Amino acid sequence: MSNKFADRISALRDMMRESGWDAVLVSGSDPHSSEYPAPRWKQVEWLSGFTGEAGDLVITQNHVGLWTDTRYFIQARRQLEGTGIELHKTRIPEQVLIPEWLAHFAFGEKNIINIAIDGLCQRVSDIEEIKSSFDDDKEVRIVSVPDMLDSIWTDRPAIPDTRIIDLDDSITGESCDDKVDWLRAFLREKGCDAMLISSLDEIAWILNIRANDIDYNPLAISYLIISQDEVRWFVRENYDDVYISLAEGFGRLFVDPGTLNFHLFSILDKNNILTGPSPIKLRKAVKNSVEIEGMKKIHIEDGLAMEKFLFWLDSSIKNGEKITEWDAARKLGEYRAEIPGYAGDSFETISAYGPGAALPHYITPRENAPVIEKGGLYLCDSGGQYTNGTTDITRTVPTGPCSFLEMEDYTLVLKGHIELAMAVFPKGTAGCQIDYAARSPLWQAMRNFGHGTGHGVGFYLGVHEGPQDIRQNFNRQPILPGMITSDEPGIYREGMHGIRHENLILCTEAGHNEFGEWLKFETITLCHFDTGAIIRNLLSDAEIRWLNNYNETVYKTLSPRLPDDVSKWLREKTKAI
């Protein structure tokens, strides 16, 4: 090891020797279990150079490992080169997760084990899982050191402090007072006096506020305590006052160990708390009628921006202009910024041509970005944050002639996308039970993808939200009417190409009969699927009908508001196959 990341790990190992720690566990999250942390808490990136959203580090005196999932294997292998950090792969059959690795591979016959953590950035549930993985004859001591890296990360960023805005009830569909009353009723049912809320999207949802403390996420870094007679919000200069308030006591306190950090949990009176999943997560995921209407309207606006962008891209390439991946990402951002209520992107745009698209979470370089060539496939995964909704869309388009393999992969992924969009299923069905609809066409051709098929999407909140998802991992949460989820199967061939087709789908009621109640999906994303790379005979008649109807709906909805040249181009792009 001979780079700055190796030097930083060496400095951390010096701390370990001085303190008598056998291992240090570094989380990729923050004190609020956020998927996307603010720069202050990007500790994994600072130590290792790995920039993926999902990754945790374990450091011992003779080993450094990064644990991440299938979305980031190629990226991690490249970014970890020369650091001496070993990649530990997750979401694969032979995975060995951190708790098991620590318990069975890290310490040999050692009986007393000191594991140091930044307790602010580790969830209670994660630490409990680690402790329970060790045999009874092992004494595992968890040493919580808040802001552990401060002494070696000398230019560590401060906690963000952006402008906080209040959303009107006409936008959210429900007042803050009504949401608080609902939560108080839940607490009374549970026999609790108050609830400590640390998840940032839950705080933003219940208070009807937004900010920009985290890139692409309209959230304010804070804690919230709601009791039967008061609401205490610990934000900005009052952020750390949460410790004082908790010391004063609130009676019986409800907390969610799946989001609460270990350090805060450690100061609570364990005899006067009730642990369980936060009820806010599910309530937030089931959108009300105002939120649904807002999401539908903003997808029309977002669709207009997408069609203008795809027209510009197609025209520029045909005219022989040199367009890089970064040029394309920037141009799409310009179109979105023209939309009223635009508050920024919902995540960093993935603009990838050819081999770059084989990385599901490719980072588009701002300098020396690859040129989008005439021929092959270009993938763009993007989204916007607006005051009346959040969007997330992926389109893969041919930029000229494609190989047979590119066309075959393109069609099979679209086939899977359509099958999930057409799914009808009984009420009570979980996402893992319908994931097969999107994967079956790929599996029949012995192809697969390593990420989830679908994730929940917030209302002017995080582009990823639970509790529902559509993936192979077992998750008991049923897909419910009012939930908005992505539909995004893909295929990735390293060094060649990547394909993903993504829309957002709204769960709605399909009817009921003697067999029970039935649900289906309504697609709310509006942007055509390019038929130029389709092998028609790979699609069933039902899939062709769905595709033709969808593209016709896109044309009829968007063309009246598009410039004439874009409208004429879209007419050609949406002709029935």
Cα–Cα nearest to 100, from 87, 90, 110, 85: 90
Residue 1 predicted with pLDDT over 80? no
Would you say 79 and 44 are in contact if contact means Cβ atoms under 8 Å apart? no
Q: Do 249 and 231 share a structural domain?
A: yes
Residue 264 predicted with pLDDT over 70? yes
Domain that holds residue 497: 289-573
Note the pLDDT of residue 133. Answer: 95
Average pLDDT over residues 31-60: 94
Q: Do 117 and 44 share a structural domain?
A: yes
* CATH number of the domain that residue 206 is part of: 3.40.350.10
Q: Do 77 and 41 share a structural domain?
A: yes
410 occurs within a structural domain: yes
Average pLDDT over residues 468-490: 96
Rounded to 10 degrees, the C-alpha dihedral 248/254/259/261 comes to 30
Lowest-pLDDT range of 106-110, 212-216, 291-295: 106-110
- Gap between the Cα atoms of 395 and 382, Å rounded: 9
Give, as one character, the DSSP assignment of residue 152. T
Q: Do 176 and 83 share a structural domain?
A: no
Note the pLDDT of residue 70. Answer: 83
Cα–Cα nearest to 254, from 234, 278, 230: 278
Cα–Cα nearest to 489, from 505, 467, 509: 505
Cα–Cα nearest to 577, from 554, 530, 544: 544
Note the pLDDT of residue 3. Answer: 85
Would you say 532 and 398 are in contact if contact means Cβ atoms under 8 Å apart? yes
Looking at every residue in the chain, the average pLDDT score rounds to 96
Q: Where are the alpha helices (DSSP H) in 156-278?
A: 169-172, 176-190, 200-207, 242-248, 262-266
Structure tokens at 428: 């009570």
Note the pLDDT of residue 109. Answer: 84
Residue 480 predicted with pLDDT over 60? yes
Note the pLDDT of residue 74. Answer: 85
Note the pLDDT of residue 2. Answer: 53
Note the pLDDT of residue 91. Answer: 86
- Gap between the Cα atoms of 241 and 228, Å rounded: 20
Note the pLDDT of residue 82. Answer: 86
List pLDDT tens digits, range 172-188.
999 999 999 999 999 99
What is the total count of domains within the chain? 3
382 occurs within a structural domain: yes
Structure tokens at 406: 């590119």
Q: Do 256 and 362 share a structural domain?
A: no
Average pLDDT over residues 181-197: 98
List pLDDT tens digits, range 438-453.
999 999 999 999 999 9
Q: Do 174 and 53 share a structural domain?
A: no
Average pLDDT over residues 192-207: 98
Cross-sheet strand order for the sheet of 393-398: 350-353, 377-382, 393-398
Query: Which residues, other chains included, contact 297 with Cβ-Cβ below 8 Å and sequence gap of 6+?
Result: 388, 389
SS (H, E, C) 353-387: EHHHHHCCCCCCCCCCCCECCCCCEEEEEECEEEC
Q: Do 497 and 378 share a structural domain?
A: yes
